[in-house]
Chains A and B, each alone.
Chain A
Amino acid sequence: MMGSLWALALLLIPGALALLLPRLRWIGAAGAVAGAAVGLVACARLLGGAAAESLRVHWSIPGGLLYMELDALGAFFLLPVWIVTALAAVYGVEYLGRHPRAPLAAALFNLLAASMVVVVLSRNALLFLAAWEIMALSSFGLVMLEDEKDSVRAAGWTYLAASQLGTAALLLMFILLGSAAGSLDFDRFSAAGRGGWILALGLIGFGTKAGFIPLHTWLPEAHPAAPSHVSAVMSGVMIKMGIYGLVRLLGLLGPIPAAAGWWFTAIGISSGLLGVIYALAQHDLKRLLAYHSVENIGIIMLGLGVGLLGVRYGLPAMAAAGFAGGLFHVLNHALFKSLLFLGAGSVLHATGTRDLDRLGGLVKTMPVTAAAFLAGALAICGLPPFNGFASEFLVYLGAFHGSTASAQGPVWGGLAVLVALSAIGGLALACFAKAFTVVFLGHAREARPQPARDPGPAMKAPMLLLASLCLAIGLGAPRLFPAFQYILAGRTDAAAQAAALGDARAALGTATGVMAVFVALALLAALWRIRRLAGRPVSQSVTWDCGYAAPAATMQYTGSSMAQPLTEFLDPVLRAERHIEPPAGYFPASASFVSHTPDFFQRFLYRPLTALGARLLAPLRRVQHGNVHLYVLYIALTLLALLAWSLGAR
């Protein structure tokens, strides 16, 4: 426990110093790296099988207790927190450069990292909620870093409103959990027959942070608005705190409500499919990535859903593979999604735009960024030999176990998951084929005063490190399996779980071996090509141009045109708005095509709801008249009434 506390101090003190000594631009990031080094050692011990450590210190707040504990599950969730925040902090130093608010950003960033660590460690509802709020507020501050832009302010308020609503649900949930036990400590919680309500509130509260559909609307707004290294942390790590909360809640509930597995699976299918479908229609690189976060949260929920169905129907193999896959995807998504956001940040840094249709051809001038982005793209599509494959494989395996069971329930659940997961994978591949091609391949669509260059070492190193971690975890996944024994302890029957994990490990080992052979073959083919081409003239020429002699860079396929076959097909879901001015006559003077895809839930659910709320609450504006005297009078009258009530009642 002391290790984690030291790590927190290492994060927070340099964070505060960054604000006090704005000349030392590196100090915040140095603290994040040092904290991560210490914190990761503590996590590694727990994942190696050490016993959980806890700490209880008196806290003067009623019902509060500074009660923290580090167990294997917590240590597993802290892995991405430490790794990604440290790398993103280093990246952020160069990314923000001499931005006037860089010191503030460094301080808020370290506060955000520390609050996430405390969220994972805390075992008291008040401590948890306090850390949860600090996490929401510090990330809100980071989203609003460039609040001189209208779009950023709008995104920030959307985010703040969403996260406050989520916290309100959590508050109710903790009250329900704590009222039966008479204590707000996690180890004394009891659901007392209200498990369904508690889980529903947890799904709303934690789901808002995690960003399942339809609670995701803040995500595609806030991620593009934040600086890229912050988007990396928010999308890679912070939304996982919602998943952490759900997994922790499942452990606290005692008997899990029977329908929970179906709820999780349904959420997983809808978030996964809708997330990737919306991603496909985006033109903004970071917005596209944000929708992919919704998709990947869906995959994680699918894994957890498969696990819960396995528990419900007494299929330990299905349960173990599902839980392990879902949790493993938490780590993997954190790594590749932050890698992709850092890559997108480098592109934005070098070109000044996130608009897909204004980019292009960057692989020639930004080879390192392109390679790193490609690694992330392959990983997020679940392609071997990267890490996304390993975790999605486990979810598939769990679903297969379900679909071959004798009972009806798991068969349908397993089949639904299999169909959804393969559709998600296919669409994700299409989407990243589009994103990578449009941004990095072809020719630049706009002339730039200077060619876009790869960033400096402080931005390159984190990307390369994350890319190699994605590859290393993809290749070494079977070696990580023993840790899942500790992480999943108590979820299912231990012996059956060990056997199931052993099976999964063997299957994954085979798959890894096969793909190693394919990688070797591909490398051989590449070598052969190089040998064949050696000593021969190699020249570049334009692609076949249908006989038109003067092709221009703007005639390349755009992002929208690449995705068009799919978006047309999916239009009943997407409902894109298109403004078309077709060419008229033989010598058309002008023609234009504009399309954008506003979020369905934003348009048809939240906007009417918030408008209704604003209308209903408008009379209350009269109470907020700006007159300080009367505000104090409100307080005084309330106090007097309370005093009279409490003393008069005696």
Chain B
Amino acid sequence: MTNTLLILILLTNLRLLISSRIHACVRWVAAQGILLGLLAVVGRQADITLLGILFALFTAAIKGWVFPWLIFRAIRESEIRREMEPYVGYNLSLAIGLAALGVSFWLGRRLPLPGLPGPLFVPVAFFSMFAGLFLIVSRKQAVTQALGYLVMENGIYLFGVVAVRDEPLLVELGVLLDLLVAVFVMGITMFHIQRDVESLDANQLTQLRD
């Protein structure tokens, strides 16, 4: 069950890399968030507590509903185009994604963490982070940068679920709060930047350098 979920998360990452529609991307990120919430419950069957379940639900709600809602609203209000506008084509993105997947598995082999529920955890966590970073780097629109950060955070969350056994809740809660602020800030700056630069193409931000 755990492995199934992990593989699903892995596939959502690949799907994100080849998706050309922003709305679809936001939905896939939301789906990934809900999968993560499920994983937090399933991945720790042995020592799950009521607080743990509540926390998993909370995470799923934030990642699967609040963030997508905020991003959808930002898209609606800023009237941007619905396309991802990549620097790197979708096929090449997929190829790079697969290469990153290979690197992730290599890193996972080199980094054996004790007490893991399965061998896939670390590679998938790394892959999510790489996919997020790649989205940030390779897509022009500012919204996709927020999406990239979300995907990256999902990778960190995977580590949080497994690696930090003692106080995963606290660590994760902190990261989640950071992210919430980040999405807010992103929304606000997007609004302001659009007003000033009249475009949400992150490429145009070069005008803002000193």
A residues bordering B, Cβ < 8 Å?
624-630, 632-633, 635-636, 640, 643-644, 647-648, 650
- Classify the interface of chain B: helix, strand, loop or mixed: helix
Residues from 108 to 146 in B contacting A, C-beta threshold 8 Å:
110-111, 130, 133-134, 136-140, 145
**Is the pair B110, A626 in contact by a Cβ cutoff of 8 Å?**
no
Across the interface, which residues of A come within 8 angstroms of B138, CB to CB?
A: 629
Q: Which residue of A lies closest to B207 (CB)?
A: A626
**Is the pair B87, A629 in contact by a Cβ cutoff of 8 Å?**
yes
> Min CB distance, B138 to chain A, in Å?
7
**Is the pair A626, B205 in contact by a Cβ cutoff of 8 Å?**
yes
Across the interface, which residues of A come within 8 angstroms of B35, CB to CB?
A: none
**Is the pair B110, A630 in contact by a Cβ cutoff of 8 Å?**
no
**Is the pair B202, A647 in contact by a Cβ cutoff of 8 Å?**
no
> Quick one: which of A624, A626, A632, A643 contacts B133, CB cutoff 8 A?
A632
Q: Which residue of A lies closest to B109 (CB)?
A: A647
A635 to B130, CA, bound (A): 12
**Is the pair A630, B206 in contact by a Cβ cutoff of 8 Å?**
no
Which of A624, A647, A648 lies at the interface centre, i.e. has the most chain B CB atoms within 10 A of its CB?
A647
**Is the pair B209, A624 in contact by a Cβ cutoff of 8 Å?**
yes
Contact-size category for B: 20 to 34
B208 interfacial contact with A, CB 8 Å: yes
A624 to B205, CA, bound (A): 12
> Min CB distance, B109 to chain A, in Å?
9
**Is the pair B110, A650 in contact by a Cβ cutoff of 8 Å?**
yes
**Is the pair A628, B111 in contact by a Cβ cutoff of 8 Å?**
no
Q: Which residue of A lies closest to B140 (CB)?
A: A629
By Cβ-Cβ distance, the 3 closest A-B pairs, closest first, are A626-B209, A626-B206, A647-B110
A625 to B206, CA, bound (A): 7
> Quick one: which of B87, B111, B134, B208 contacts A626, CB cutoff 8 A?
B208
B83-116: contact bitstring with A at CB < 8 Å (1 yes, 0 no)? 0000100000000000000010001001100000
**Is the pair A629, B110 in contact by a Cβ cutoff of 8 Å?**
no
**Is the pair B209, A625 in contact by a Cβ cutoff of 8 Å?**
yes
> Quick one: which of A625, A629, A650 contacts B137, CB cutoff 8 A?
A629
A233 to B203, CA, bound (A): 45
A640 to B202, CA, bound (A): 24
Across the interface, which residues of B come within 8 angstroms of A648, CB to CB?
A: 110
A627 to B133, CA, bound (A): 15
> Quick one: which of A629, A640, A643 contacts B136, CB cutoff 8 A?
A629
> Quick one: which of B87, B107, B140 contacts A643, CB cutoff 8 A?
B107
A628 and B202 contact, Cβ closer than 8 Å, known pairs A633-B137, A636-B133, A636-B137: yes
**Is the pair A647, B205 in contact by a Cβ cutoff of 8 Å?**
no
A648 to B111, CA, bound (A): 10
**Is the pair B107, A627 in contact by a Cβ cutoff of 8 Å?**
no
> Min CB distance, A464 to chain B, in Å?
47
> Quick one: which of A628, A633, A650 contacts B205, CB cutoff 8 A?
A628
A26 to B111, CA, bound (A): 58
Return 26 A-B CB contacts under 8 Å, by A number.
Answer: A624-B209, A625-B209, A626-B205, A626-B206, A626-B207, A626-B208, A627-B203, A627-B205, A627-B206, A628-B202, A629-B137, A629-B203, A630-B137, A632-B133, A632-B137, A633-B133, A633-B137, A636-B130, A636-B133, A640-B103, A643-B107, A644-B103, A647-B110, A647-B111, A648-B110, A650-B110
Across the interface, which residues of A come within 8 angstroms of B206, CB to CB?
A: 625-627
Q: Which residue of A lies closest to B145 (CB)?
A: A628
Across the interface, which residues of A come within 8 angstroms of B139, CB to CB?
A: 629
> Min CB distance, A183 to chain B, in Å?
28
Q: Which residue of B lies closest to A632 (CB)?
A: B136
Which of A627, A632, A647 lies at the interface centre, i.e. has the most chain B CB atoms within 10 A of its CB?
A632
A486 to B206, CA, bound (A): 60
List 11 additional contacts besides A633-B133, A647-B111; criterion CB under 8 Å. Answer: A624-B209, A627-B205, A629-B136, A629-B138, A629-B202, A632-B145, A633-B137, A636-B133, A636-B134, A648-B110, A650-B110
Across the interface, which residues of A come within 8 angstroms of B107, CB to CB?
A: 643-644, 647
> Min CB distance, A209 to chain B, in Å?
27
Across the interface, which residues of B come within 8 angstroms of A647, CB to CB?
A: 107, 110-111
A632 to B148, CA, bound (A): 11
A630 to B145, CA, bound (A): 12
> Min CB distance, B150 to chain A, in Å?
14
> Min CB distance, B68 to chain A, in Å?
22
Across the interface, which residues of B come within 8 angstroms of A643, CB to CB?
A: 107
Q: Which residue of A lies closest to B149 (CB)?
A: A632
> Min CB distance, A627 to chain B, in Å?
6
Across the interface, which residues of B come within 8 angstroms of A624, CB to CB?
A: 209
A624 to B210, CA, bound (A): 10
Across the interface, which residues of A come within 8 angstroms of B103, CB to CB?
A: 640, 644
Across the interface, which residues of A come within 8 angstroms of B110, CB to CB?
A: 647-648, 650
Q: Which residue of B lies closest to A627 (CB)?
A: B206
A625 to B209, CA, bound (A): 7
Across the interface, which residues of A come within 8 angstroms of B205, CB to CB?
A: 626-628
A640 to B134, CA, bound (A): 12
Across the interface, which residues of A come within 8 angstroms of B202, CB to CB?
A: 628-629
B14-53: contact bitstring with A at CB < 8 Å (1 yes, 0 no)? 0000000000000000000000000000000000000000
> Min CB distance, B132 to chain A, in Å?
9
